[in-house]
């Protein structure tokens, strides 16, 4: 079985990425024959158009992967742009992709509503994502519920291609686990870089403190009973706790734990939990990152090249 996962370098890694994607994906990697992790820097161009910032985000994302425990000797880790087969396949797939399929993409509409420029690249984002998936004959693509449609679109595109040119692609399956954490942001919505409501994983202590102390709460008085189920502070804090610890903390909320005190406790837990990861990240050198990216791209191109040979032969380019 081959498992595929990607991260867009459009800002600092946050705890929504960590609990909602990275932790469960690393758990799957132990059971998979091959795990492919890549940083989708081409996708990031739809929102990041400052070259210096993109270069920083790319390297930060690679550091984040390694600091969080992804082992490049067991998994393939690389930058999307280092494997040109991604864009080559995206163009070929775009020639069989119906416009109506892309017009139904929910994420495009949501991003435009959030103020992201309605570019052609943003509109055709799902085609490049389909190429990302289909290049590696991935059996399983772990995604959150909000990303499931992208994998379904990739399947639809693969079916269109297979119908036109013969059986060429494996049809990927989205894998959504019921126990995957949906992490609320500081405003109570799902945590997302697009919404500007994140708590950074590897930011400065000051930036982390500012984000946590800025979590939006309701207007209940300091010692009034609080509902932990509707409180973003508790919903974030319980990610770090055992079931019994979360139950005890919930009882304190119900007894009137002040929001200010709740935020201070969350900050302490947060910094203690991620201290080992932060030390591991600080120890990484530029040489470490360069070696990982180059070796990962080489291994990725071996797989992607075989896929493109099949594709190009199927469509008549070979």
| CB-based contact 41:74 (threshold 8 Å) | no
Catalytic residue among 148, 160, 190, 209: 190
Locate 251 and state its tokens: 């009882």
| CB-based contact 58:9 (threshold 8 Å) | yes
**Helix/strand/coil for 21:** helix
Catalytic residue among 63, 193, 226, 263: 193
Locate 95 and state its tokens: 């020639």
313 is known as an active-site residue: no
**Rounded Cα gap, residues 314 and 318, in angstroms:** 8
Catalytic residue among 31, 63, 109, 111: 111
Q: String of b and e for 269-293 (b: at least 16 CB within 10 Å)? A: bbeeebeebeeebeeeeeeebeebb
63 is known as an active-site residue: no
Locate 43 and state its tokens: 């996708």
111 is known as an active-site residue: yes
| CB-based contact 80:39 (threshold 8 Å) | yes
Any idea which residues carry the catalytic annotation? Answer: 111, 190, 193
């Amino acid at each position: 079985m081959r498992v595929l996962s990607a991260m867009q370098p459009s800002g600092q890694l946050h705890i929504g990425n960590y609990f909602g994607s990275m932790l469960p994906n690393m758990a799957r990697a132990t059971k998979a024959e091959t795990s492919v992790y890549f940083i989708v820097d081409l996708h990031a161009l739809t929102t990041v158009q400052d070259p210096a910032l993109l270069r920083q985000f790319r390297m930060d994302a690679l550091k984040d992967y390694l600091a969080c425990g992804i082992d490049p000797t067991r998994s393939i880790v690389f930058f999307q742009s280092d494997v040109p087969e991604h864009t080559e396949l995206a163009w070929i797939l775009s020639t069989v992709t119906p416009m109506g399929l892309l017009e139904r993409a929910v994420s495009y509409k949501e991003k435009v509503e959030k103020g992201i420029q309605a570019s052609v690249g943003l509109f055709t984002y799902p085609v490049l994502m389909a190429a990302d998936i289909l290049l590696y004959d991935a059996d399983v693509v772990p995604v959150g519920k909000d990303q499931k449609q992208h994998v379904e679109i990739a399947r639809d595109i693969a079916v269109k291609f297979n119908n036109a040119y013969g059986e060429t692609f494996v049809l990927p399956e989205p894998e959504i686990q019921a126990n995957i954490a949906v992490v609320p942001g500081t405003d109570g919505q799902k945590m997302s870089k697009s919404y500007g409501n994140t708590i950074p994983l590897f930011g400065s202590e000051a930036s982390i403190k500012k984000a946590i102390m800025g979590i939006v709460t309701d207007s209940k008085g300091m010692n009034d009973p609080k509902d932990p189920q509707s409180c973003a502070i508790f919903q974030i804090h319980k990610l770090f706790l055992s079931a019994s610890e979360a139950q005890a903390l919930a009882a304190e909320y119900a007894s009137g734990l002040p929001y200010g005190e709740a935020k201070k406790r969350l900050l302490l837990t947060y910094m203690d939990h991620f201290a080992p990861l932060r030390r591991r990240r600080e120890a990484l050198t530029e040489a470490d990152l360069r070696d990982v990216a180059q070796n990962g791209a080489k291994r990725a191109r071996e797989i992607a090249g075989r896929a493109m040979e099949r594709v190009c032969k199927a469509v008549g380019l070979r």
